[in-house]
Structure 1
Amino acid sequence: MSSMTASPLTETQTVLGGVAALGVIMTMLLGLMVRRVRRKTVVSAPPPVLRIVTLGATAVGKTVLLAGMFDHFRNKGERLRLSAVDGVRGNALTRVWATVSAPDAGWPEATKLGPLQKFSFDCKGLAGGNEYPVARFEFIDLAGEIVDGGHDAHDATDAQRPGREELDRHIKAADAVFGIIDAYRIRQYLDKEEAGRHYVQHVILPMVDSMQDVGCPVYFIVSRWDLIARHEDEDEDQLRRVRGALLDQPAIGRLVHQSRERHQSVRLIPVSAVGRRFARFDEHTRVMTKCPGEKVRPFNVEFPLCMVIPDLFAQVGARLKPEHHADLVDRLERHRGVRGRGRAAKSAKKLLRSPAGEGLRAVLAVVVGVDVINDRLAEMFLDWFARNEQLGRNTVAADESDLARRAVIEEFQEMGSALKIKYPSSDLTRAVR
């Protein structure tokens, strides 16, 4: 029986051949990885930026409301979360909320007259245990003196002018305007007190004048709502009273009429950053004093933010041409049957390049702004549109970032439905039965 022994040269050649083959495989894998990274970099677009301007008089609680809303969406959101883009400003809001909610601390100081402040938050959707940025909200906050002139209006005039001009520019570019109204002053107006009439004439109406030409949703947010409705079961009745008082003002009636013609939303939203029992209001000194042993129980602080995207998209949908609307419905119905991530993405891109997709982009550019139009905003609209039309979307084919975007849309729309059910009077553009 003979045996065969491999020569050293043959063994060396075999090893070298294996190494070479392994090198080829590694090169191919590296090339695929590089292409995947490059593809991600090219396809990925920054999240759309939506700009919100907050208006309100001195000490009305604009910053406190923002801090309460930030706390809610940072800690209590089920399918979405807000994170501060600027850590310094985020920490400042956290300190404001810590001061507000501490039973043994005072109240935060009012925003001092100075440059406008911008707070930016990334809205992140949750899917598969991961977070994905879906949109960015930029809030413009300002000192109340720019609206009401402060306690020494003559001395403040020169300081106000640059801020007022900058504010007007921001209002024209806004995707939503929040007008913060003091519930105590509105209660005085309802009770026919002179201080209430003065507040409406010299604070609310000038604020409304600056809103007349906006092309975006407008929300009147009644802060410290617990001063009007002591109990939750009083909310809707009291909201109707406030609604009637506001709509009796010709300037507000005109704003609502114009907005209805332009398919814009105008809403009246009652909020309380601390709840009904955390603090007691002294009618004589007009000072809020924290009650020992009570905890903050904010309500409705999430509603203003949750309405911005659905209301903007409703405005876009109302302005689509009928043929584009019908084509989107047809294409989305067919898109539901597409399977596989690559095919689904290709189908979505094809939809956005169709005449209906181009028509959608044109309307988005008018309503939201040409500088924020990208595929991510258009895809977000399609998610809203499909859900609003009860078409559904193909979640089987979606990757986690798609699911995260849809989770944000669903969360906002469900909150919006809750607002409409809880407060039928909140929509000023619709008749109340």
Structure 2
Amino acid sequence: MKNYKIITLGPSGAGKTVFLASLFKKLAANQEGAFLKTFDDQQRIKLNQIYAKIIDPDQNWPSGTRDITQITFTCYVKNLDLNPQNFQVCDLTYIDYSGGLITDKSDEEDVFDFQENVPNADAVLAIIDGLKLLKLMQGENLNNETITKFLHIDLTNMMQLINQYQTDKPVNFIISKWDLLEGRYNLSQIRERLLEKVPEFENVVNFRVSAGCPVRLIPVSSIGMDFATLEPDGSMTKTGAIPKPLYLEIPIAYLLIDKVGDREKAHNHLVVSFKKHLKDFEKKFPEANLAKIPTPICLILTQAILLILVCSLVFQGWSILCLPFGIVAIVYAAKAKAPLKLGSKLGRKQASKNAKKWFLFGFIPAAIIAMIIRFS
């Protein structure tokens, strides 16, 4: 049976511990046909204790990961026949490194362990702190100590560690605490801000896109909306509401599908309901796929080429009134391809705007010429 190794990275306070405990709680429930088990009773009890502390409004949030945590789960698919024996699909070895590996001077043993494990990993989950991301999105002073640490220590160090990981292996960036960002900013805005402000993030994305490797930005809330409120001092106060986690299973679903390599074959690993979660997620967050190139520029490029052909072959003597504009539109649309691959906000918007503008400059006289020829 295949054992998939997952490495999880994230600075202290990013929410790795809460993510893992909530993920186990959700996927151990055996409610939707696919579920996880860990056969180490001590680890199972510890995860349940952490989750109990999370949902108890009278207790503080659990402390972060201080040491390397390694847990092996077995993924089962429920047998829908009368046979009570469930199907063992695969094992998942989940390795959670302490936040100190990123934010502090790391223990040599931790660094050695990471360097030993990373070449054999099947996927990396890189946790980006949603609370710090919110402050970045709100336009707080970039010289602010929290923002400076987030940009130049947390994210920079995490990207440098990811660069030690093979470029042909999937990387899923997990935005934690999505409940703080939902309704204030969309994933496209966050994606563009990260690409704009964190060159190391852009480099990681570019290298993996060039290698044809999956790289994604996945929003996750381990507790769901309204479970906690953000206080002015940046702390989170529990409200006593029932936790309703969002998208916790998505990174695991992607891991299985990436390794199978074919979405149809992935049916052997995921029950229909699990696949539906993935389909719903991709419908809501198409921009989560950092390797996906938007299509509007391609459409403008095609239209500009058709405009030139029509002007040259049909309008002939009149072509001087529309042909130059079509050429300029093609130039801008072609230049736009590189920024689109890199996810550059400025490049995409400016190129798209210019290509569309010059196309319209050529299309309008072309339409007028067509009407003159038609009715003359």
- Using structure 1 for the length normalisation, give the TM-score: 0.62
Aligned match of 2:42: 88
Counterpart pick for 1:123 among 28, 50, 75:
75
CA contact (8 A) 2:228 2:236 kept: yes
Q: How big is the shift at 1:139?
A: 0.6
CA distance in 1, matches of 2:122, 2:265: 22
Aligned partner of residue 270 in structure 2, secondary structure? helix
The amino acid of 2:147's aligned partner reads G
Aligned match of 1:243: 191
Is 1:414 the counterpart of 2:362? The answer is: no
1:4-57 per-residue CA deviation (whole Å, 9 max, x = no partner) reads: xxxxxxxxxxxxxxxxxxxxxxxxxxxxxxxxxxxxxxxxxxx10000001001
Counterpart pick for 2:29 among 68, 75, 83:
75
CA contact (8 A) 1:125 1:133 kept: yes
Q: How big is the shift at 1:169?
A: 2.1
Aligned match of 1:170: 117
CA contact (8 A) 1:81 1:125 kept: yes
Higher relative contact order, structure no. (Cα contacts within 8 Å, ≥ 6 residues apart): 1
Aligned match of 1:198: 149
CA distance in 2, matches of 1:432, 1:88: 47
The amino acid of 1:125's aligned partner reads V
CA distance in 2, matches of 1:278, 1:299: 12
CA contact (8 A) 1:265 1:429 kept: yes
Aligned match of 1:32: none
Q: How big is the shift at 1:240?
A: 1.0
CA distance in 2, matches of 1:181, 1:56: 7
Residues 243/181 of structure 1: CA separation in 2 closer, same or farther (3 Å cut): same
- Using structure 2 for the length normalisation, give the TM-score: 0.71
CA distance in 2, matches of 1:300, 1:386: 22
Deviates more, 1:420-429 or 1:258-267: 258-267
Aligned match of 2:94: 139
Counterpart pick for 1:295 among 242, 254, 261:
242
Counterpart pick for 1:180 among 127, 150, 159:
127
Aligned match of 2:181: 228
Aligned partner of residue 110 in structure 2, secondary structure? helix
CA distance in 1, matches of 2:269, 2:140: 46
Counterpart pick for 1:211 among 157, 162, 182:
162
Aligned match of 2:365: none
The amino acid of 1:283's aligned partner reads P
Aligned match of 2:202: 253
Q: How big is the shift at 1:412?
A: 4.6
CA contact (8 A) 1:50 1:135 kept: yes
CA distance in 2, matches of 1:84, 1:189: 38
Q: How big is the shift at 1:312?
A: 2.5
Q: CA RMSD in A?
A: 2.0
Aligned partner of residue 111 in structure 2, secondary structure? helix
CA contact (8 A) 2:174 2:220 kept: yes
CA distance in 1, matches of 2:171, 2:203: 13
CA distance in 1, matches of 2:272, 2:116: 32
Residues 90/172 of structure 1: CA separation in 2 closer, same or farther (3 Å cut): same
* Structure 1 unaligned residues grouped into runs of 5+: 1-46, 150-156, 318-383, 388-404
Aligned match of 2:256: 309
Aligned partner of residue 78 in structure 2, secondary structure? strand
CA distance in 1, matches of 2:51, 2:88: 24
CA contact (8 A) 1:67 1:94 kept: yes
The amino acid of 1:140's aligned partner reads I
Aligned match of 2:355: none
Aligned match of 2:328: none
Aligned residues: percent identity? 25
CA contact (8 A) 1:189 1:197 kept: no
Query: How many residues are aligned here?
Result: 285
CA distance in 1, matches of 2:31, 2:269: 11
Is 1:99 the counterpart of 2:49? The answer is: no
* Structure 2 unaligned residues grouped into runs of 5+: 296-376
CA distance in 2, matches of 1:98, 1:238: 31
CA contact (8 A) 1:148 1:203 kept: yes
